[in-house]
Structure 1
């Protein structure tokens, strides 16, 4: 009897009740499990349909080719050849396995080295980040990733200076001094017109400041011009060597901030100090009312104080967003800093502690304090308004007024707090606050575009500069 599936004598034969065919039991059970039918037919077949066939178990005879010595020798030779081939294949596989293992170990070692290097770089980055990022105050918004870094306070000598200046200026403000006799009247301001304009050697003008009858204009081409307002001429050009992003003039010192993070102090046209503190562009400079302390802000989220007498950096503070502009309070005890996130943070000058923040709603383009001590004006990128904030209030209530000025890239409040000048791509405006009527008016609006604006002596002129490097003077024609 031969199995219908394997063609060999079955060791455990069974026969199908339906067809009488003989099968090897283990083979037919597997076939039924997979197909459910009998081989060679379409009839269903179940294990119960198989009948065991009882046979006597006998030792199978050795094939005829194993019954002679030559046949045995041939069988042994075949077995030896098979063993030799198997040994060769085993050695070959072992060699490949060793190579694969060596490659895997090398890759593992390389991965460990990379992980160690990345871990070191991560730790270094965290350490660097901790120096430029701080956790916001309880009243501010948190980004979830800020790391707490303490702000530095001023040295004791400068703290005393700040306190003295604050007491003196606050007392003067309480006396409610009237405007100086020679100060420009609303009628004079409303009669302003462009009386002169001059092409500068500076191209891509970015910043402007006025001292007495002179102005300094910085440009992104790495130059700065000293301009005579009365003479309507450029008297001197300075080669800064780096794109100028911010400019202030105090006494005999011209101070320039650059896009490479430098703060350069020039006295009588000569560079007397240079600070490389900011990791990125300097976006704002402002001088303390006492004239001794300079503050700078930058995109690296830090604000830095310098002593202009000793020409040294004296303290540093950090915020949770890139800073875009800054201004000292008229009493000098606060520093306001505008941020890229649309907030205006107020810090104490003495210790750099954040005391309050106001929300503008757009990256802060410019901000300036009023001489009255409790108002400041700010404008954001893309906004067509200038917002007046009241320091005495919080939240939305702090927004005292929104002035429809059009695009405003620079702001300048006169020293009496009467006139707020703005300039942008749509031109120059002057907004006036009528204290008796508690209302705002607009005595002047012109189409002279510009990127920066400042008041001249006694508020009887306005100096503007546009991005092409043309400086203009607006005043009452003679």
Structure 2
């Protein structure tokens, strides 16, 4: 039986909701039907619940606080016991971060709220409310997750920037360490260089003074005076007589071919020249003191090195381009260097200073040879000229153009000093009479520019090389080629050198090798260099062999 609606009962229900009799009476009077009454009661109940929960919801706990307080700084509502703990620990407002004390909290005076009974989940409204609560909780959780994700992204970005910066710093430090190690390797052999004394005053030549700075300025030729020619002739006579006295006997101290075959690499010195501009291009040994070795490098410097003490004696700086030719004076502590900067420098080794600066060419200097008197220097250049200069006064005595008007690539005096040989870009080897300043013989047969020539001390043989992977031997008495040493295909020859007795011939290029003269057979091949060998010289009595290379090393070979 359907129950009749009773307005009094409805008011009794509302009694638990409304706070004053006036509200209940208003409800009773305004209710004209059961439907209207229930609607009013439902709306007012929802309004009271929502207002109380929203107005008293704690910021930290997300619950209606039992003892609500408000912060004067942020205006937010908190549960007293929780906000007090927070202030005691942090001493600030949790929302604004401003300093705050417990005494500043303001109590909220609210009448006690009579909570309705929790709705049962058996009705549709209750189910909807439950789902709404779950949705709200899910949204709050999602919001929190997004905040945490954003924070994590910022931290990750910061960490990645730090990692990238650290990698850059590590890379830079690695480069600096590598550069420091290279510098140390370069400087270590220089430990033996003592503190240089103040350089003595050395007179500079009138020829091509460096201060003029004009390499193309015409230089006056002093000419080959009768006095100079007589000096050359006298020296040649003495040297010829000495060679005849020696005859064909070899010095007792000369190493035998069996000993040559046992030669091994006994020293390797990579620190004579700059590591940043690698390459040693020229080599010579002091014939009076065979412990002193001279090298010229890609780094524009020449270095004097003592192989016995393994110390650098001097570093000679002044050229503006690489040094391609070097000569160690046999009787003085003086060295001579040539460079593509079109200059020739005569250096005083003890002071590491330039004594003379010769500018007698209009192109790169390609060849140097010291006359046996020790007073004159022969030079060749790609400007098609050879020049003969006095290293005591700095005067240019004569300058002669090649008859074929081709660039000259190398030069060397005959042991007597009255003739000399030059190599050309068009594969010719030419013999010149110094006194007459004329071309007296030509040796054709090579292919490509001549890269090296060397006269034997016996005065009869001339060895030449070019870009054709062979070494040709010429008899100066018959003016013909009597032997060709054929090397491997693609073999490059950069330097040739006979020992002082004329018994052995050394070849430097793709490798370093020693040939026995007359039989012209290989005695020993050295493959220790990791790049092209550029220079080779015998020590006294061939007791050791020295070679230089583009791999930045000076290597010494001897009996171990």
TM-score (norm 2): 0.55
Aligned pair 1:301/2:384, yes or no?
A: yes
Deviation at 1:254, TM superposition (A): 0.7
Alignment-derived partner of residue 315 in structure 2: 237
Aligned pairs, how many?
321
Aligned pair 1:209/2:292, yes or no?
A: no
Quote the Cα distance in structure 2 between the aligned partners of 1:467 and 1:453: 13
Higher Rg = 2
Quote the Cα distance in structure 1 between the aligned partners of 2:318 and 2:381: 18
Alignment-derived partner of residue 476 in structure 1: 559
Q: Pick from 443, 446, 450: which aligns with 2:523?
A: 443
Quote the Cα distance in structure 2 between the aligned partners of 1:400 and 1:158: 35
Quote the Cα distance in structure 1 between the aligned partners of 2:541 and 2:474: 25
Alignment-derived partner of residue 508 in structure 2: 423
State how 1:102-181 maps to structure 2 within 5 Å.
Answer: 154-175=224-245, 176-181=247-252
Deviations 1:263-316 (A, max 9, x none): 011012221100111111000100112212111100001111111232322111
Instruction: Name the CA shift for 1:366/1:468 in 2 (closer, same or farther; >3 Å).
Output: same
**Higher mean C-alpha displacement, 168-177 vs 286-295:** 168-177
Aligned pair 1:366/2:437, yes or no?
A: no
Alignment-derived partner of residue 424 in structure 2: 339
Deviation at 1:173, TM superposition (A): 2.3
Quote the Cα distance in structure 2 between the aligned partners of 1:252 and 1:312: 21
Aligned pair 1:271/2:343, yes or no?
A: no
* Corresponding residue SS for 1:361: coil
Deviation at 1:152, TM superposition (A): 8.7
Higher relative CO (Cα under 8 Å, sequence separation at least 6) belongs to: 1
Deviations 1:409-450 (A, max 9, x none): 11110111110001112x11111124xxxx322211121341
Quote the Cα distance in structure 2 between the aligned partners of 1:287 and 1:166: 14
Q: Is the 8 A contact 2:273 2:280 kept in 1?
A: no
Quote the Cα distance in structure 1 between the aligned partners of 2:508 and 2:345: 26
Q: Is the 8 A contact 1:224 1:239 kept in 2?
A: yes
Q: Is the 8 A contact 1:329 1:336 kept in 2?
A: yes
* Corresponding residue SS for 1:244: coil
Aligned pair 1:247/2:326, yes or no?
A: yes
Alignment-derived partner of residue 400 in structure 1: 482
Which runs of 4 or more aligned residues in structure 1 lie more than 3 Å from their structure 2 counterparts after TM superposition?
none
Alignment-derived partner of residue 170 in structure 2: none
Quote the Cα distance in structure 2 between the aligned partners of 1:209 and 1:252: 13
In the alignment, structure 1 segments of 5+ residues that lack a partner are 1-130, 133-150
* Corresponding residue SS for 1:409: strand
* Corresponding residue SS for 2:243: helix
Deviation at 1:259, TM superposition (A): 0.6
Deviations 1:316-371 (A, max 9, x none): 11102100000000111101110011111111111311111111232100000011
Cα RMSD over matched residues? Answer: 2.0
Instruction: Name the CA shift for 1:333/1:152 in 2 (closer, same or farther; >3 Å).
Output: farther
Quote the Cα distance in structure 2 between the aligned partners of 1:352 and 1:215: 33
In the alignment, structure 2 segments of 5+ residues that lack a partner are 1-217
- Specify which structure has the higher proportion of helix: 2
Aligned pair 1:261/2:364, yes or no?
A: no
Deviation at 1:174, TM superposition (A): 2.6
Q: Is the 8 A contact 1:152 1:351 kept in 2?
A: no
- Specify which structure has the higher proportion of strand: 1
Alignment-derived partner of residue 117 in structure 1: none
Quote the Cα distance in structure 1 between the aligned partners of 2:373 and 2:252: 24
Deviation at 1:177, TM superposition (A): 5.0
Aligned pair 1:379/2:465, yes or no?
A: yes
Deviation at 1:167, TM superposition (A): 1.1
Deviations 1:73-126 (A, max 9, x none): xxxxxxxxxxxxxxxxxxxxxxxxxxxxxxxxxxxxxxxxxxxxxxxxxxxxxx
Quote the Cα distance in structure 1 between the aligned partners of 2:493 and 2:437: 29
State how 1:317-336 maps to structure 2 within 5 Å.
Answer: 317-319=400-402, 320-336=405-421
Quote the Cα distance in structure 1 between the aligned partners of 2:391 and 2:353: 15
Q: Is the 8 A contact 2:500 2:540 kept in 1?
A: no
TM-score (norm 1): 0.64
Alignment-derived partner of residue 59 in structure 1: none
Deviations 1:191-250 (A, max 9, x none): 111111011224321111111211111112211111112233333322223221211111
Alignment-derived partner of residue 467 in structure 1: 550
Quote the Cα distance in structure 2 between the aligned partners of 1:237 and 1:391: 39
